[in-house]
Structure 1
């Protein structure tokens, strides 16, 4: 699961995988349009639905936060 998600993030911007900071948005690696694309890719890849209430900046600030969200939604 993690490897598949990392592949999706790499498709958005491979620098996301190397980023060690605390905010992908402030680093210029993610923006609202890319998050919408990413949500769509995650939903398709993992056969889950990400409700709009989960599409918050805090859930997408780091790759770890994104992984945590996907794991929670897959339960």
Structure 2
């Protein structure tokens, strides 16, 4: 698994990043407040805004990578 978003055939799909967790302004032009953003952040879906080139933290102490937004 690649820890750089968009690099290779397998990479992180649910990164801990608010901007990539929220829908784009073209899809959702209304303001999204902090509390309302949690709905998107905690979603198990892939990110709506792919942050190509972002580097995520690597594996944990058991050499696993939980591809989940709450883990950073």
- The TM-score normalised by the length of structure 2 is 0.31
Higher gyration radius (CA) = 2
Q: Which has the higher contact order (CA 8 A, sep 6+)?
A: 2
Q: Which has the higher helix share?
A: 1
